[in-house]
Amino acid sequence: MIKVCTVYQDIDAYVLYDVLHDPHYRQIWDKHMIHSVDVGYLNPNNDVSYYAISCPAPLKNRDFVLQRSWLDTGQELYVLNHSVFHHQYPPQKGFVRGLSHLTGYLIRPLPSGGCSFSYVSHCDPRGKLPPWLVNKLTHVLAPKMVKTLHKASLKYLSWKSHNNPNYKPWIYPEQISLPRIAFNQCTKSPADEVDDLLDESHIDEKSLNHFSQEDY
């Protein structure tokens, strides 16, 4: 589990909230995303998505099926997710199915302008990874994500003004066009269980010598 807190003096809280939500803009700023699909919605504040990310070679890429929840209380903005199952996206060849126990973003507007940002993630990348690698990824990826979000937020308003500026279904539920998800679509069968965990414990630091904080 990791936790990162920071303050963005030059980012409006609602701009950051939109950046975290906007699936079309994420294709631009999220360099690790291979593929993302908005599968459907449960209600106006809960949806399900598929998300595949690249990992530095020789690691296998990971993917997730996530239920995302969000809420704007007027004083705080939340975006949370955890792993679920969906029958259209069972474990796939070429990916290790990761598990998010809880990932959350908390945004608070500041009286002086800007916002505070807190990020908590309790994830299991699955597979059998050496502890040194998990520690290295944690120390690099979390601070890098904070910097990347800052840069993306600074450019968002300009980008959004030319890309369907009024489309924000996370704020305006009448714009939701995803199919409604039924409970039986999220029920596992024995064939959907992951029995064998990929063993990547043999990986050493020399095989990841191209890994850098600038890239990941």
Reported as a single tens digit per residue, the pLDDT across 82-104 is: 999 999 999 988 899 999 999 99
- What does the alpha-carbon distance between residue 207 and residue 59 come to, in Å, rounded to a whole number? 10
pTM of the model: 0.88
Rg of the Cα atoms in the chain = 18
% of the chain with per-residue pLDDT over 70: 88
Residue pLDDT, tens place only, 15-74: 999 999 999 999 999 998 999 999 999 999 999 999 999 987 778 899 999 999 999 999
Inter-residue contact 58 to 76 (CB < 8 Å): no
pLDDT at 50: 97
pLDDT of residue 138: 73
pLDDT on residue 135: 76
Q: Which of 193, 198, 195, 61 is nearest to 128 (CA)?
A: 198
Is it the case that residue 211 has pLDDT exceeding 60? no
Cα–Cα distance for residue pair 210/208, rounded to 1 Å: 5
